[in-house]
Structure 1
């Protein structure tokens, strides 16, 4: 083997590469206070960058000259070279995937902060970015694994035979993976047709909740009571479901009351408007109070309708209004409470 001076050069090269990455990390940390992508790069890429730097330094310094010319030492050199090649492919792949996630995370963080009328478009873009980067990461990893395999001469020799039987193997794999492929296609269809987005409010299987996670194979629905309902993506292309935020995040809240005929509807409408003006959950847009039906049991049906910025606010506003109206009728108009009249 080469003299200790060669190994000293190797140690210096590795230490220098680590120092260079650390300097870049510190610079990005400082820049990250004003530029969000830099902070995400530091969070995602620090360890992959250290790994790549070390592997590149070792590849540059550790050549055939580092080993002797004896047969055993030549075999060792070939083995080390192959291992370094595999490690280099793996490290570079790791860095590329993490860098892609870091840059897209910076975009996703900005989209999360979008509110109001632009919120629907922001959620659509978040959904699409999330699926595209998963596909890109999977493609990069598959390419890297292929490059690793073809670095072995034995695998390259088998390449012709593998390609010759690709038609039969492809048919078998296609039949076996049909449900998985169908789910993947359904996931892309949902994301790019804008039929479903992250944070959409949906009703599925009589369960109300928000879309928490949307992947190529499954959808996670966070229910109102913090349970999670996990469904295959293909469910949403094969079954009907309610999407309350398809064209906007605003939701109308409805409160139904069954009261006596003596209820003073104009007064009830007046106090409801005063209550809504003082409630921060109301978006100051739509509201009404109407008598919508006369029931066979001798009661009248009163409907209070008001708008809110999103479904969560609408639910809380609906509960507030219902409680207010019940208390108001009970305290101020007890004769209007539900009751049944019996005539002799």
Structure 2
């Protein structure tokens, strides 16, 4: 009878204690979150309930399974499994706690700061910091799991003598990966590009959607995703339209006839931008910037709040200006002048003298 009750008490008691402690911690965090709504930390820590229960249950079973007299022939194997589960769940708990702390700090900063550029910069930094923490905790957890095996400890001691050579070989083999890793840290703390910035890379216009330690994703205006190594942004020039503020100045060029009414076009441009909600009211202008034997080049200059608005404003100005010229001043549109060849010159022999 004792051989049946003892395992039930050990296993049941461990599970019961785990469930009760998890419920109590969750209730405490729930009430603390309700009492302090100004910080989201306590609510975010509630995500740690499951890994906490895994850690607690694995620790209780690891310490008490020997008293349960379960599978006595496999005591070492069961202990090894429980140790691995304990290490893995502890790493999971640490990652969840660090993520909650980082996300809470970012949320409070974003709420208290009105500068959108600073918020995007901090968001990029905390995202990469969290990825570094996760990677470090994962590597340490795997190393700790391997060291629980006696054979691995012996193997690790024998490999210390050749660690220098292996380090050189690994460094050469992973040169590209390490370059991207350091480039990712440089982007995060050098404030070169941030999540949410509008950039132009390889002639493609888009918004930075994700930054990791090794790659960066740009979402283009037509919903495509361009994935590029972060080393590209530290080794090649690119346009960042969000640096120094989101305001943009756009230009629209028109090729018109020499007789085009430039003053009337200037007045029409003013009328168009006043009617367009995309114009921010900062500046506008129209000037003749170039001439050719058959046309003149007229440049319209407009300003908007951001890149999306300036694109909309440029399209609106171009469409309405062309329509106005076609309806009111058709002679101002560029024309292709052709002349018929005189009939008396056709097939006339050429005098070479």
Give TM-score scaled by structure 2 length: 0.83
Cα distance in 1, alignment partners of residues 49 and 160 from structure 2: 39
Instruction: State the shift of 1:227 in Å.
Output: 1.9
How many Å separate the matches in 1 of 2:65 and 2:16?
Answer: 18
Alpha-carbon distance in 2 for matches of 1:237, 1:300: 41
Displacement after TM superposition at 1:300 (Å) = 2.0
Unaligned stretches of 5+ in structure 1? none
Structure 1 counterpart of 2:319, from 317, 323, 336:
323
Task: Answer whether contact 1:111 1:126 (CA < 8 A) is retained.
Answer: no
Say what the alpha-carbon RMSD is for the aligned residues. 3.0
d(CA) in 2 for partners of 1:50, 1:324: 65
The answer to whether the 8 A contact 1:292-1:301 is kept is yes
State the 1:18 CA deviation. Answer: 1.7
Tell me, yes or no, if the aligned pair for 1:18 and 1:53 is still in contact at 8 Å.
Answer: no
Question: Matched residues in 1 for 2:228 and 2:6: separation?
Answer: 62
Whether 1:12 aligns to 2:13 is: yes
Deviation at 1:140, TM superposition (A): 0.7
Deviations 1:42-74 (A, max 9, x none): 4x43432332233234345x2432228xxx72x
For 2:179 and 2:207, the matched residues in 1 are separated by 24
- CA drift of 1:157 comes to 2.7
Which has the higher Rg, Structure 1 or Structure 2?
2
Spell out the pairing of 1:1-344 with structure 2 (5 A cutoff): 4-5=5-6, 7-8=8-9, 10-25=11-26, 28=29, 31=33, 34=37, 35-42=39-46, 44-59=47-62, 62-67=64-69, 73=72, 76-107=74-105, 118-297=115-294, 299-340=295-336
Question: Secondary structure at the residue paired with 1:165?
Answer: helix
Q: How far off its partner does 1:255 sit?
A: 1.0
Is the contact made by 2:10 and 2:68 (CA closer than 8 Å) also made in structure 1?
no
For residues 105 and 312 of structure 2, what CA distance do their matches in structure 1 show?
Answer: 31
Preserved contact between residue 287 and residue 300 of structure 2 (Cα < 8 Å) = yes
Are the aligned partners of 1:290 and 1:304 in contact in 2 as well (CA < 8 Å)? yes
Number of aligned residue pairs: give it: 336
- Whole-Å separation in 1 of the counterparts to 2:297 and 2:80: 80
* Deviation (angstroms), 1:121: 2.1
Where do 5+ consecutive residues of structure 2 fail to align?
341-353
**In structure 1, the residue corresponding to 2:301 is in which secondary structure?**
strand
2-side partners of 1:26 and 1:312: how far apart? Answer: 46
Instruction: Point out the more displaced range, 240-249 or 312-321.
Output: 240-249
Secondary structure at the counterpart of residue 100 of structure 2: helix
CA distance in 2, matches of 1:37, 1:219: 29
User: Which deviations, in whole Å up to 9, do the C-alpha atoms of 1:285-314 show, x marking residues without a partner?
Assistant: 2222222222332x2222121222221221
Q: 1:50 to 1:268 in 2, by over 3 A?
A: farther
Is the CA contact (8 Å cut-off) linking 2:199 and 2:240 kept in structure 1?
Answer: yes
Aligned mates of 2:168, 2:260 — CA distance in 1: 72
Q: Distance in 1 between matches of 2:77 and 2:208?
A: 50
